[in-house]
Every structure is written in C-alpha cells, then in structure tokens.
Amino acid sequence: MSASKPNLWIDGVLQSQLDLDDRAIQYGDGFFTTVAVFEQQVLNWSAHQQRIHNGFSKLKITAIDLTLIEKWLAEALQYYFSQNHASNAVAKILISRGRGGIGYQLPEAQKPRCLIYIKPAPQALLQKNGAINAMLCETQASIQPFAGIKHLNRLENVMARSELLNAAHCAEGLMLNADQKAVCGTQSNLFFIASAKDREQKIICTPRLCQSGVLGTTRQSLIALLKEHGWQINESDFALASITQAIELFFCNAVRGIQSVDKLCLDEVDIEFETTETTNLQKLWNDWQYSHALPISRFNQEKQ
C-alpha cells in the first residue's frame, strides 16, 4: 500500500510549493488552526470558526469570507480522501497576510491567502488515549501582547517540544512563564483538579491565558461543556506548587483530545496523579465532539 500523500492548497488551488516572498515565510505574519477530521467529519468546527474570526480581527488581516474557507477545506479534504482511500486526516488551515510591503511595513492593499495542508491522522486521533507521563520544561512560555492567538511565531513551543527528545518516557511537557506560573503543555492546554473536595464539588482549574499561551479550540469548547454538566471553572494564575499538589491533571488539544497524566517528572521527584475523573471527562468530551461533528459532504449546509 502506498504512503498517503499530503496536499497543499492555496486559495482553493492544489499547489506544490509556497512562494518565498509570502509574509508567512518572511515574518510569520499570520495565524493557523489545526482541525481533526474523523470518518470524514470535521470535529469541533464552531471553535475553529471562532479562532479564524479572532485571528483576522486581532492581527488586523483583511478577512477572507469564512464560507469560502469552508468550501476550500471541504474540497481539499474530499480530494485527499479520494486520492488516499482514507477517511481520517488532520487539516491545518493557515492564514497569511499575503505578499507585499517593504520590510515589516504592511502592504497598502492586503491580499491575504488561505493555505490548507492535509496529512494523515496520527494514532492519537484513532485510538483511546491512555495516561501519559509529562515533564517540566526549561523553555518558558513568553509573556506577550498576542497571548491567546495561534499566530505563526511558535519558537517557544518548538524549543520546549525539543526537550522531550531527551525524555523518551514523557509524551508532553509543562511550560511555565517568566513569573513561574503554569501556562500550558508544549502543544496543549492544561487542566487540573486540585483536591478530592474540588472533585466532589465539581471544581476544575485551568490557567488564565491573558499574558501567555494559546486559547485552544478544545479548551474553549470543553469549558462550555463542563459548565453545562455542572462543573465550576477556576480560571486563574497558578504556581507550580498548585500543579504538583493536584490530584488529577490533564492536557488537551484538537488532535489528541484529553490526555490524562499519571506522572509529572521533576528533577528530584516524580509526582503521581489519579485519573478516575479524567477518564470520565475523556468520554464526555469524545461523545460530545463526535455527536457534534460536521460531515464534509454537507459542510456548507449546516449552521453552527
């Protein structure tokens, strides 16, 4: 069986390369969102819609009609599935400000571009997630004015992720910021249950992301779902001690869903966590997102 062929589409046209004068390459001038597609159904699309809208607004990029982006995404996925005899994939939608401008100066007339890159779905999307080990990263999450946005400047995540190469037993890393507050995983958002009392009273904690980190699509929808099921969300700034004293800990993102942590590896000690409630939340999340998935065959017909 031949290997799956990734596809790059630019403004709805299949391409083999991206121009080097594109501002996405020159300056990281743009943003992206990564979409999981399971059995030819787009997962959690409403949250990705919101991220795309916010990206255009916050970065002052002339907006591309979302209906057009949806059309291009559906066509790219249909082509990919037919070419690769597949039904699962991961699609990265990348918005670039386009070409032009002198140096950092914005072009007088923006002509933004929509890049859609499709690749095979990882096993994490296709099978039930087991508990993982995590480590504490030395690389910090930067404090910056564009916190929350999935912009194209992701060097801190790249360097934090590289630390896992020397910790083969760990699947994720916890990142702190310069104030030594817990922010996120290298490629995920962070949640924890602080105590048995909080678990009984249905209180769950997650870092505030007004100075660092990315407002994940799974994080956004999961918070809303938890509230619907009676959970109170404690969104605040948490020191490392709050994490190490917690009884349950998990990471989440669009592709891997909820990943429970059974061990956090520090320099001198390993902190172990329970996973009982997190396992229940995994099922709750999976049931919700599969029941709300949007088939690409009627992608432009369904209203979110």
pLDDT in tens, 182-217: 999 999 999 999 999 999 999 999 999 999 999 999
The first and second tokens of residue 254, run together, are 């669009």
Q: Return all residues near 203 (Cβ < 8 A) that are at least 6 apart.
A: 193, 194, 231, 232, 234
What CATH class has 7-123?
alpha beta
SS3 at position 244: helix
pLDDT in tens, 237-267: 999 999 999 999 999 999 999 999 999 999 8
pLDDT of residue 304: 44
Q: Quote the CA–CA distance of 186 and 44 in Å, as a whole number.
A: 21
Among candidate residues 209, 136, 225, the one with its CA nearest the CA of residue 173: 136
Q: Where are the domains of the chain?
A: 7-123, 132-290
> Between 140 and 108, where is the model more confident?
140
pTM for the model: 0.94
Has residue 1 got a pLDDT over 70? no
Distance from chain centroid for Cα 97: 21
pLDDT of residue 6: 62
SS3 at position 107: coil
> Between 126 and 244, where is the model more confident?
244
Q: Please tell me the CATH code under which domain 132-290 is placed.
A: 3.20.10.10
SS3 at position 259: strand
